Structures are given as C-alpha cells and as structure tokens.
Amino acid sequence: MRASVVTSAVVAALVGFGGTLALIVAASQAVGATPGQTASAVIGLCLSMALTSALLGWRHKMPIITAWSTPGAALIAGSHGLSIETAVGAFLLAGLLIIVTAAVKPLGTLVQRLPVAIAAAMLAGVLFRFCTAVFTAGQADPMLVLPLVLIFLVARRINPFGAVLAILVIGIGLAFLLGRVGPLPEVALLPRVEFIWPAFDMEALIGIGLPLYVVTMASQNLPGLAVLQAAGYKPPTPSILAVTGLASVLTAPIGSLTSNLAAITASICTGPDAHPDPRQRWQTTRFYALAYLVLAAGGASVVALIAALPPSLVATFAGLALLGPLLNALGTAMGDIPLRFPAVLTLAVTASGVSLLGIGSAFWGLVAGLIALGIDRVGRRV
C-alpha cells in the first residue's frame, strides 16, 4: 500500500464528480426534475460508481474505474420535450442494451463495427452547443463568465485535470461575491432517493435511448477499455458491461443516468503514478469507491448549491468541462479522411437541433451520416 494509491483514487473521484456535476444538474433540469429528484439522481450515480468500481476491481484485480456518461448527460441536457418519466424510460433502455451487448457477442461486434468517426461526430454535434453556450453566457454576463474563461485557460496550462475544479470553486466564490446566488433550499441531513415511475414513449426511446446507448458505448466504454489495454491489462469486457449495465438499470428508477467505464479519469488510476506495480493498482478502486460514498452523503447539498447558482455560471461550468471531450471527438471524427464528409454531415445535423417525428437530432445525425457513408461506399464499388 502506498499513499499514491489513495491520492490517485481521491483525485480521480473529485475530478469526475466536480468536473461534470453541473452538467448532470442541467440534464435533470432539462427534463423537469424537481430538486429532490435531481439530488436523488446524483446520489444514485455516486452509489453506482462506488459499488461497480469496488466490485469489478476486487473481482478482477484491475484498476477498473467507472463513471457516469458525460456525453449522455449532454445529450439529455440538450433535448426538448422530455419529462423525467420518459427520460427514465430512455435510461432503462440504454442500460438493458448494454446488458444485451455483454450477453450477445454479435451485438458487441456490431457496435464495434460502427464507424468511430460517425459516432464521434454525433458526440461532437451534441457537445458543440454546450461549448458555444459559454460565450453566449459571456455576452449576457461578462463580469461573471469572462474571468472564469481566462482562469480556465491558465489553469489548463498548469494542470488539465484540475482546471475544471478550479473554475468550479472560483466561480462559486465569484458568484457569491457578486451577489448572484439565489436562496439556498433546505437540504435533509440524510441523503434520500425518490422513485420515479418510467414512461416508455417510443419517440423518446428512439430519439434519446438509442443515441444514449451509442454515445455511452462509443465515447465511454470503448475508450475506457482502450485505457486499460494501454496500461497493460486485458479487460474483462463482458463482465464490465454486465455490471455497469445492471447498475444502470437498477439506478434508472431514481433518476440516474447510465453508468459506464471511465476514460479520462481512469488514466489517473491505471498508470505508474498510482502504483509502480501494475498488480497493485486495483487497490485504487477501493478508495475510489470510498470517496464516492462520501460524495453520495453530501450530494444533495452540492446539488442544492448548484441549483441556486445563476444559469450563466452553470452554462460556463458545463461548456468549459466539455471543451476537452469536444476536442477529442472532433479529432476522431476528422481523423479518417474517407469518412470526413459523412462525419461532417453527422455533426451538422446533430448540432442543428432538428427534430423530426418527435425524435431528436442525435438520432437523425447518426442516420444521415450512415446513409452518406453507405452511398459513398456503393458509389466506389460501382
């Protein structure tokens, strides 16, 4: 046991929690969740991260770190016309599809054959609107937003992992200083979850549930597996998908988003900085789980604080936190020259926010990109 094991696990948990919590709150607000339901969703996610990481790490003796689906949260936050009940139905579908992917090998193979450039372009289209919202917020409230953008750029140069946490702490302090924080609601001393009956609306299942599954697999699980492989491990893919899929299904009725492998934060726990011996790095999962149990206990208070912050500040948190994922998604989407046109088409349709037949733009962006790719390939054969 080394101190680096503890510090790596705690830092990974804080970066994952603090870096995108504002996006989770925004996603819950977009579907009309009450403050209690939003707190319930965050508590469920924290418990899921704790239990899945601890179980998978102990079972396989690997630093298998789980997280919530940040792209999925962006997808939900950018949706329109959803209720919390239909969102829960979409969460359940995504979780069930992840379980089926673990059980049915051909489905997993099919998902892996989905062109990475197309999936990345769909993700980039979802993220694009959040990143541009930072500057819209800056125009509306320059005294609050623009200093945070500058601080973020400087902090990112020093420590990319800590940059979002830095603006979270400084931004909250600045909001209090400027008198922009609303009244804080009362928070129960003990964390409490609320059950939400799911509603299975076909338009929401197709327009949100399927894209949520795709972005979770393509932008979270597959990169997470790659992080483990790059660190010299042979990840037990079916077990990981089965456990995270089951956790997603069990926590969906309390409003929680999909659980999946961590990618960026996982690298904090899988490298030699965590422990020189790769066989001992799995111990980070125990302290990562403990950190998330502590965060679950205080999750309702943090959610109440974020809900009281001005919308421009929440938009800034979310947008700046997603600049890194947007950069990675754009790089992947444009990296394969023959796929650039279908990828750009996918990005354009998704970013447009168009809704046809009640189905959101992420689904239609994916469809448009695959049709363009199919026509290109048929044309080459002819």
Query: Which pLDDT score is estimated for 90?
Result: 92
Q: How deeply is 159 buried, as exposed, middle or buried, from its count of CB atoms within 10 A (0-12, 13-18, 19+)?
A: exposed
What is the DSSP annotation of 58-69?
HHHTS---EEE-
- Mark out the alpha helices in 31-159 (DSSP H runs): 35-60, 70-77, 84-103, 105-113, 116-140, 142-158
Closest CA to 255 of 87, 93, 76, 66: 87
Query: Which pLDDT score is estimated for 57?
Result: 93
Q: Name residue, tokens 């394969």.
A: 336
Whether 109 is in a domain gets the answer yes
**Cβ atoms within 10 Å, residue 49:** 28
Whether 162 is in a domain gets the answer yes
In the predicted structure, residue 378 carries a pLDDT above the cut 80: no
Helix axes 340-352, 361-381, angle to 10 degrees: 160
Mean pLDDT throughout 233-241?
Answer: 88
Whether 211 is in a domain gets the answer yes
Q: Name residue, tokens 């607000």.
A: 29
In the predicted structure, residue 116 carries a pLDDT above the cut 80: no
In the structure, what pLDDT confidence band is assigned to residue 161 with cuts at 50, 70 and 90? low
Whether 24 is in a domain gets the answer yes
Distance from the Cα of residue 18 to its chain's centroid: 12
Residue 311's contacts (CB-CB under 8 Å, 6 or more residues apart) are 137
Specify the DSSP element, H or E, that contains 261. strand 259-261
| Alpha carbon distance 280, 97 (integer Å) | 33
| Alpha carbon distance 246, 258 (integer Å) | 10
Max distance between CA atoms of the chain, in angstroms, equals 68
Residue 178's contacts (CB-CB under 8 Å, 6 or more residues apart) are 143, 144
Indicate the average pLDDT of the chain. 82
Exposure string for 92-131, b = 16+ CB within 10 A, e = fewer: bbbbbbbbebbeeeeebeebeeebbbbbbbbbbbbbbbbb
Whether 358 is in a domain gets the answer no
Whether 353 is in a domain gets the answer no
% of the chain exceeding 70 in pLDDT: 91
**Cβ atoms within 10 Å, residue 316:** 28
In terms of residue numbers, what domain contains 207?
Answer: 3-332
Domain count for the chain? 1
Whether 278 is in a domain gets the answer yes
Q: What is the pLDDT of residues 71-90, one digit of tens each?
A: 888 888 877 778 999 999 99
In the predicted structure, residue 327 carries a pLDDT above the cut 90: no
- Strand, coil or helix: what is 263? coil
Mean pLDDT throughout 327-336?
Answer: 80
Q: What is the pLDDT of residues 26-69, one digit of tens each?
A: 888 888 888 888 889 999 999 999 999 999 999 999 999 999 88
In the predicted structure, residue 326 carries a pLDDT above the cut 60: yes
- For β-strands 259-261 and 66-68, DSSP reports them as antiparallel
Whether 75 is in a domain gets the answer yes
In the predicted structure, residue 381 carries a pLDDT above the cut 60: no
